[in-house]
Structure 1
Amino acid sequence: MKTRWFSGNRVDLLENGEAFFPAVFDAIRHARREVILETFIVFEDKVGQELHEVLLAAARRGVQVDVLVDGFGSADLSPAYVQSLTAVGVRVRTFDPAVRVLGFRFNVLRRMHRKIVVIDGERAFVGGINYSADHLADFGPQAKQDYSVELVGPIVGEIHRFVRTAIHDPVGDVINAGHGLRAAWGRWHPHGPQQSAERAAVNAGSADALFVRRDNLHHRNDIERYYCIAVRRARKQVLIANAYFFPGYRLLRELRRAAGRGVEVKLVLQGEPDVPIARTAASTLYDYLHGGGVKIYEYCERPLHGKVAVIDDEWSTVGSSNLDPLSLSLNLEANVVLRDKPFAQHLRTRLEHLIERSCKQIEVPAHKGWVWWAQVRGFVVFHFLRRFPVWASHLPAHAPKLELLAQPHAHSPARPHAHATGSSHAR
């Protein structure tokens, strides 16, 4: 699938679970033909239970429902949770499942990290929010700050084609996949409704949209490349909010160059991280970024989980991809890139509000006692980042499999037309 721009889209920002979950669950409740949902995490808390209820109801009224979860992120889903879905015809697949060894999960690398929902080929959601209660403010101090978008318009047809292919024949996402593996998996024979771009092709708004993904075969660096291009073209402001910030050397260099030519470059990073090493890793870059004129803010109200950016008055992106080695070199990710002034201005306003209300600016130290150590550390970090994509290709790898967790009943009363695909072919 080639990456291309689509005009005439409507895009709405969904900030945190308070906006995201009601929008997605309402869309599933009103689905008429098809629901495709893929996510890194589903927990069996109050959010996961509500998701379970709306998927069950959709399947019972004859909607074709496909769910793809990650074998690491959603490893603890109970058999009862899954089997109750498959009993009414929901096809639940897991990406690269693995059994625990001495209580530990070792399938941590090369995860299916995307968060996408497509309803009837007409409406799509893309972002970074998982299905768990820690995306709601009432979770407490560890509730995550995050973002997603709801899309209507021609871009939905592109996203729809992608997710339909991914749930049946995800060979393009496989590490070291050869063309011979396609025969082992089998050709894609779509089941159910064939609607895609046709229904979504009507102009719905003013946004130009681009669906960008990262996989381990054909699109290894697409998301990072679009970030670099946008920063390189920036003339006034770059504002990036990203939870896990440890990007490649090329993006770091572009950020410094932008600041050097007078662009205001602001980074919003974690100050209260859910994974402490994330802040530690990012902080090793502060001296280098400060030296180029980049302004750094740490969000301190709760853990930051967002992966968004706004550049100048028009360009923006929202998605699942962090700016760290896992997302940029190993995981399967998806972002939407947008050219739309109203949306960019709204997202910038929300991020500036975050900076003013809940962030502290990291100041350049007036006196640093260990200047030589900072220089040595910077040298090591930057050369590590420069070569990381090459090193990542040599990390332990295998051909991940997509497994149908339980076979839907071929003649379920609620779904007499349901069919099942193969269950556990290695890719």
Structure 2
Amino acid sequence: MDSATANKQLIDQLPRIAHRPDQLETLLDAASFRERLLHEIAQAKHRIYLVALYLQDDEAGRSILDALYEAKQKNPVLDIKVLVDWHRAQRGLIGADKSDGNAALYRHYAENYTHKIDVLGVPVRNREVFGVLHLKGFVIDDNVIYSGASLNDVYLAQHDRYRYDRYHVIKNKALADCMANFIGNTLVASDAVNCLAQPNRPETKVLKSAIRDLRARLHSASYSFISQHINEEHVGLTPMVGLGKRKNYLNTQICTLIASAHEELIICTPYFNPPRSVMREIRRALSRGVVVTIIIGDKTANDFYIPPSEPFKTISGLPYLYEINLRNFARKNEAAIAKRQLRINLWKHDDNSFHLKGIWVDRSYMLLTGNNLNPRAWKLDLENAILVHDRHRLLEAQMQNEIDTILAHTQLIGSYKQIEKLEHYPPQVRKLLKRIRRVRADHLLNQIL
């Protein structure tokens, strides 16, 4: 038995929830995602659990809070919980002046409505740089709306610009229940998790012991559900969660999924900075003849990119660092590019940004995830995913439609020489990157950014 077949058997042995394919819907743009989310909130009867890295104090973020509070006032027994990262909610944007962050918005809403909503902050670590809440999935009654997007103007295409992500609506009570139970039993129940809308929030240092306990629980936490038989009319759903460098269940399954590819592997990531284990499995896939497609945003479509015409900020060097990684990878695999076994597609559409992540294998498996497939996701952040098993290719047309839509604004790289090199970068970027290399900080930055 070859290694790919052995790994495929491991994937097929994962516990699964049976799901009707007509109850999984792919939304193809950010505006549709925004409209659908607001519609589902307005229609909710029993529960609304929203989990995101942040819910921003801007027009789109306020529209979500408006919809949530309106639903709560109409139906006070409606169970509404919003969970965001504790640290991110209490600071301003990178480079902005010190502020109370989005927590001030949550407090303002709570003070102006009779029936309150729990907006809870989840501290994965004592400091944001060492780990954040990167869990994804909105549970509304028996629907799971899954996307890597957070909640602000650009993610929700509130105005002219958008940050492109993936968006799926899954109507499945068993899946919704297990994800809601994880939120309630593992996160909400923790003493480390506190309401951000209260005027006197505890300081992080007071929560140090509770945060340590929460992180210890999260290291071994999992979604709890009863595995079901999958017949020829159903696809299977496997929700997974992971945290930390060691014994990370999600990381293990992602590597096994890549290692199971026989014919075709497609990977989307916004930041080309794969962990060693992922890069190793990509190399092995190429060596056994798998056609590998990597879809990544052009550096100008990175959310940290700042045009040379605007004032330079240190953080704007990141897209160039990722591009150097990509160029080095392409150069080492030039032969595979030349024979079209390795296809690198750079996404760029006007001044919009790219935030997609996901994996497709042999047209039979699709991974929905917020995991950026980088060392930070691998070691520091709380991540999750839903693996869709489609052995009978019942969703093949829908999957292909999504992939075609993603590829519509991409350029296929024919050689590593098409990717810009350091010598052509703006002077301030060159100076920054050379300084980083001189002090050998590039490896450290790749691990935490």
Same fold (TM over 0.5): yes
Q: Superposed, which structure 2 residues align to 1:276-287 within 5 Å? A: 276=305, 277-278=318-319, 280-281=321-322, 282-283=325-326, 284-287=328-331
Q: Return closer, same or farther for 1:320/1:348 CA change in 2, 3 Å cut-off.
A: same
Letter of the aligned partner of 1:223 in structure 2? L
Q: Superposed, which structure 2 residues align to 1:43-54 within 5 Å? A: 43-54=56-67
1:147 aligns with 2:166: yes
In the alignment, which of 100, 120, 131 is matched to residue 93 of structure 1? 120
Give the 3-state SS of the residue equivalent to 2:186 in structure 1: helix
Deviation per residue, 1:128-187 (Å, 9 max, x gap): 0111110245644x52111122112232222122112233235899xx9899947x99xx
Q: Superposed, which structure 2 residues align to 1:300-319 within 5 Å? A: 300-301=348-349, 302-319=352-369
Letter of the aligned partner of 2:132 in structure 1? R
Greater alpha carbon shift after TM alignment, 321-330 vs 69-78? 69-78
1:349 aligns with 2:368: no
Give the 3-state SS of the residue equivalent to 1:94 in structure 2: strand
> Aligned partners of 1:291 and 1:223: how far apart in 2?
32
Q: Return closer, same or farther for 1:231/1:97 CA change in 2, 3 Å cut-off.
A: closer
Letter of the aligned partner of 1:234 in structure 2? A
Letter of the aligned partner of 2:106 in structure 1? Y
In the alignment, which of 141, 150, 162 is matched to residue 182 of structure 2? 162
Q: Superposed, which structure 2 residues align to 1:202-351 within 5 Å? A: 206-216=234-244, 221-271=248-298, 272-276=301-305, 277-278=318-319, 280-281=321-322, 282-283=325-326, 284-290=328-334, 293-301=341-349, 302-340=352-390, 341-351=393-403
In the alignment, which of 53, 61, 70 is matched to residue 57 of structure 1? 70
TM-score (norm 2): 0.68
Q: CA deviation at 1:78?
A: 4.9
User: Structure 2: 5+ residue runs without aligned partners?
Assistant: 1-13, 91-100, 194-207, 218-223, 306-317, 422-436
Q: Superposed, which structure 2 residues align to 1:68-217 within 5 Å? A: 68-75=83-90, 76-85=101-110, 87=113, 88-96=115-123, 107-120=128-141, 122-137=142-157, 139-140=159-160, 143-153=162-172, 154-170=174-190, 181=213, 206-216=234-244
What's the RMSD between the two structures over aligned residues? 4.0
Q: Return closer, same or farther for 1:45/1:296 CA change in 2, 3 Å cut-off.
A: same
Give the 3-state SS of the residue equivalent to 1:108 in structure 2: helix
Q: Return closer, same or farther for 1:138/1:159 CA change in 2, 3 Å cut-off.
A: closer
Conservation of the 8 A alpha-carbon contact between 2:16 and 2:237: yes
TM-score (norm 1): 0.71
Conservation of the 8 A alpha-carbon contact between 1:172 and 1:216: no
Which structure features the higher share of helix residues?
2
Q: In structure 1, what is the equivalent of residue 429 of structure 2?
A: none
Deviation per residue, 1:228-274 (Å, 9 max, x gap): 21222212211111112311222112112212222210000110212
> Aligned partners of 1:137 and 1:91: how far apart in 2?
26
Identity %: 17
User: Structure 1: 5+ residue runs without aligned partners?
Assistant: 100-105, 186-195, 371-380, 396-427
Q: In structure 2, what is the equivalent of residue 358 of structure 1?
A: 409
Greater alpha carbon shift after TM alignment, 284-293 vs 336-345? 284-293
Deviation per residue, 1:1-37 (Å, 9 max, x gap): xx73111243222233212222222222122222111
Q: Return closer, same or farther for 1:257/1:148 CA change in 2, 3 Å cut-off.
A: same
Letter of the aligned partner of 1:132 in structure 2? N
